[in-house]
Amino acid sequence: MSVRVRIAPSPTGDPHVGTAYIALLNYCFAKSQGGSFILRVEDTDQGRCTPESKQAIMDCMRWLGLEYDEGPDIGGEHGPYEQSQRVEAGIYKKYSDQLVEQGDAYPCFCSSEDLTTMREAQRAAGEPIMYDRRCRDLSKEEAQARIDAGDSHVIRMKTPLEGEHSYPDRLRKNPVVKQWVDVDDQVLLKADGWPTYHLAAVVDDHLMGITHVIRAEEWLNSLPKHTWLNKQLGFEVPEYIHVGLLRNADKSKISKRKNPTNVLWYRDQGYLPGALLNFLCLLGHSHPEERDQFDLEEMVRIFDLSRLSVAGPVFDMDKLKFLQGLWFRDLSPEQMCAVIHQSLDYRMDELLPLVAERMITGGDFCNQADIFYADDVRWQMQDVIPKGWDANQTRKALDTTVKSLRKLIKKGKLEWTAADIEKGIKDIAEKNDWKPKQYYMTLRVAATGRKDSPPLFESLEAIGQLKVFKRIEALLPKIR
C-alpha cells in the first residue's frame, strides 16, 4: 500500500513555523517512500477560520517548496480538501449517526451555562475539568423525545470507562498509556450539526486513505479518542506518530512572544526557503554524516522516520541565521541580486508609504527603511533622553511601556497593529501623565535609533513586536 500522509492545519492565524516543521517531516517521509503528501484545511471552527489564513498556508507551502500532491487549490481524487466544503457535502453526519446507532455516541443536552457551572464546581473541588457524563445514560426514548421536542444538543463519544488505552508510538521507548476513565466524552457533532476536529479528522484521514499521521505531541491526548473512533467506525487505523513540539530557548512551547512564528515573516525578512527548511530539518533529524548544510532533496534522501526527535527541539535563531548565512553566500551574484529584489518586493507595499515622504532618490529607500530590517540599532544618548526628562524618567517610561504592552498582548487585548499600539501607548501616557511630546520621542528613538523616523505607531507595527521589545530592552541598561 502506498504511503499517504497529510498536514491538516486550521486556518486561524498566520502560517506557523510549527506547521512548516510538521509539513516538512510529512513531506520527507512521503517522498522517501514514493508516497503522496496532502494538504487538508481543517476549517470547522468557522468563528476562528479565515480565507486569508487559508491562502497564507498555501502561499507558505509553495514558498517553502513543499509542493503537495493534493490540496484545496489543486484538487485530487479525494476532494474537496477543505472541511467546510465537506460539511456541505454531508460527509460527516452519517458517521456520527452510525456511532449513535451502535451505542458508541450519545446526544447531550447540556447548555453552555450547565457546562460552565460544571467546570467551576470541578475547579473548586480540584477535580479534572471534563464533561461529567450526565447525559450519557439517558434512555434512548427520553433522548429521542427531547430531540423531537427540538431541544438543542450535541453528540458526544461514549468511550469505555474501564481499562487503559495503550499505543506503541514508534518514536517512544514505552507505549503511550492512558486510562479510559480520564478520556473525556468528546463532542463529535456540534449543536449546529458541524463536526468537531476529532470526528472530521478521523473520517477524513480514512476517506483520504491516510496511512500515517505524523503530528506534534500536543495531540497525544487525543490519541485514544482517534484510535477508538477509527475502530468503532470500522476503519483501518492509520499509524500515529507524535514528534516533539518546537520550543523557545527556555523550553516553553514556541510562542510569538519569544520567536517570530509566522513563516511568511521569514520570507518577508529575506530568509531563503532552503535555509529555513534546512534549519527545521535539523531540529528534528540530524544528518547521518553530521552535515549542517543540505537541501530538500538531500533531506528526503536521508530521512528516517524512526530517527525523529521527540525531545522538544529548541528553535535557536542564531543557528538559523548561521545556516541562512551559509545558504546566502552560496548564491551566485545573479541569484543574490534576485533574492535582494524579491525581499525588497515583499515589503515594498508596506514600507514605501511609510518612508516615501523622506526620500528624494530611489537609493534613499535603503537609508530610510533600514530601521525595519536591522537586527540592532544604535542610539545617541542625548536623543534618547528628551528635553525636560532625566535618565530615570526615561528608563521608567520605556520599561513600563514594554511591560504594559506585553501584558495587553498576553491578555489578548492588543494585536500588534498600529491602531492597537497607538491605543495602548496613549493609555500608558495618560495613566502616567506623560506628555506625548517627550514620551513619543523617547519611544521613537529607542525603537528606531532615530529622532526623525516615519510615523511612530506605523513604524512600531512594521518593525515588529519582537524587535521593538528587544531594542528597548537592549537600550534600558545604557540609559544613565
Q: State the catalytic residue, choosing from 256, 321, 387, 411.
A: 256
Cell numbers representing residue 381 in the block: 544618548
Give the DSSP letter string of 353-377: HHHGGG-SSTTHHHHHHHHHH-S--
Candidates 37, 92, 131, 197; binder of ligand GLU (CB under 6 A) is 197
Q: Decide if 341 contacts 331 (C-beta within 8 A).
A: no
Instruction: Round to whole Å and give the CA distance between 199 and 10.
Output: 15
Q: Does 143 bind ligand GLU (CB under 6 A)?
A: no
Determine whether 256 is an active site residue: yes
Q: How far is the CB of 72 from ligand GLU (least distance, A)?
A: 14
Are 21 and 28 in contact by the 8 Å Cβ rule? The answer is no
CA distance linking residue 363 with residue 361, whole number of Å: 5
Name the minimum Å distance from CB 215 to ligand GLU: 4
Residue number with CB closer to ligand GLU (49 or 143): 49
Q: CA 17, 263, 238: angle at the middle one, nearest 5?
A: 40
Single out the residue of 206, 215, 256, 444 in contact with ligand GLU (rule: CB under 6 A). Answer: 215
232 binds ligand GLU (CB under 6 A): no
Contact region with ligand GLU (CB under 6 A), list: 7-15, 49-57, 295-303, 425-433? 7-15
Per-residue DSSP letter, 182: G
Sign of the Cα pseudo-torsion (218, 221, 227, 229, in order): negative
The contact mask relative to ligand GLU for 152-191 (x = CB under 6 A, - = no) is ----------------------------------------
- Find the shortest distance in angstroms from Cβ 202 to ligand GLU: 9
3-state helix vs strand vs coil in the chain, percent to 5: 50, 10, 40
> Smallest gap, in angstroms, from Cβ of residue 205 to ligand GLU?
8
Q: Which of 5, 9, 35, 351 binds ligand GLU (CB under 6 A)?
A: 9
Number of helices and strands in the chain (H, E): 20, 9
- Supply the minimum distance, in Å, between the C-beta of residue 8 and ligand GLU: 4
Our CB check for ligand GLU shows the closer of 10 and 453 to be 10
92 binds ligand GLU (CB under 6 A): no
CB under 6 A: which stretch of 6-14, 30-38, 275-283, 335-343 binds ligand GLU? Answer: 6-14
Q: How many residues bind ligand GLU (CB under 6 A)?
A: 8
CB-nearer residue toward ligand GLU: 10 or 211 = 10
Residue number with CB closer to ligand GLU (30 or 275): 30
What amino acid occupies position 317?
M
Cβ 193 to ligand GLU, closest distance in Å?
Answer: 19
Specify the residue, 189 or 421, whose C-beta has the smaller distance to ligand GLU. 189
Rounded distance between C-alpha atoms, residue 244 and residue 231, angstroms: 26
Please say whether the dihedral angle defined by the alpha carbons of residues 146, 148, 154 and 160, taken in this order, is positive or negative. positive
CA distance 231 to 146: 29
Of the listed pieces 5-13, 132-140, 158-166, 343-351, which binds ligand GLU according to CB under 6 A?
Answer: 5-13
In angstroms, rounded to a whole number, what is the distance separating the alpha carbons of residues 323 and 325? Answer: 5
Q: Are strands 4-7 and 164-167 parallel, antiparallel or unpaired?
A: unpaired
- Cell 507524535 belongs to 242
Q: Of the two residues 215 and 471, which places its CB atom closer to ligand GLU in the complex?
A: 215
Scanning 4-12, 26-34, 155-163, 358-366 for contacts with ligand GLU by CB under 6 A, the matching segment is 4-12
Which of 63, 109, 194, 219 is in the footprint of ligand GLU by CB under 6 A?
219
Q: Which of 30, 108, 183, 201 binds ligand GLU (CB under 6 A)?
A: 201
Using the CB atoms, write b or e for 399-415: b if 16+ within 10 Å.
eebbebbeebbeeeebe
How far apart CA 39 and CA 260 sit, in angstroms, is: 23
Residue span binding ligand GLU (CB under 6 A) among the ranges 8-16, 355-363, 384-392, 463-471? 8-16
Closer residue to ligand GLU (CB): 87 or 460 = 87
The neighbour count for residue 57, using CB atoms within 10 Å, is: 27
Cβ distance to ligand GLU smaller for residue 201 or 425: 201
Contact 305, 170 (CB under 8 A): yes
Q: Determine the Cα–Cα distance for residues 321 and 312; give it in Å rounded to an integer.
A: 20
User: Taking the complex as a whole, how short is the minimal distance between the CB of residue 312 and ligand GLU, in angstroms?
Assistant: 17
Mapping DSSP to helix (H, G, I), strand (E, B) and coil, where does residue 193 land? coil
Which of 442, 246, 464, 459 is CA-nearest to residue 375? 464
User: Which of 35, 49, 39 minimizes the C-alpha distance to 19?
Assistant: 39
Does 10 bind ligand GLU (CB under 6 A)? Our answer is yes
Say whether residue 8 binds ligand GLU (CB under 6 A). yes
In this complex, which beta carbon is closest to ligand GLU, that of residue 222 or of residue 453? 222
Q: How far is CA 281 from CA 23, 167, 218, 285, 303, in A?
A: 11, 26, 19, 6, 9
CB of 22 to ligand GLU, least distance (A): 7
Compute the least distance from the CB of residue 36 to ligand GLU, in Å: 16
User: What is the distance between the alpha carbons of residues 165 and 184, in angstroms, rounded to a whole number?
Assistant: 13
- Segment 23 to 62, residues that bind ligand GLU, using CB under 6 A: 42
Active site residues: 256
What residues line the site for ligand GLU (CB under 6 A)? Answer: 8-10, 42, 197, 201, 215, 219
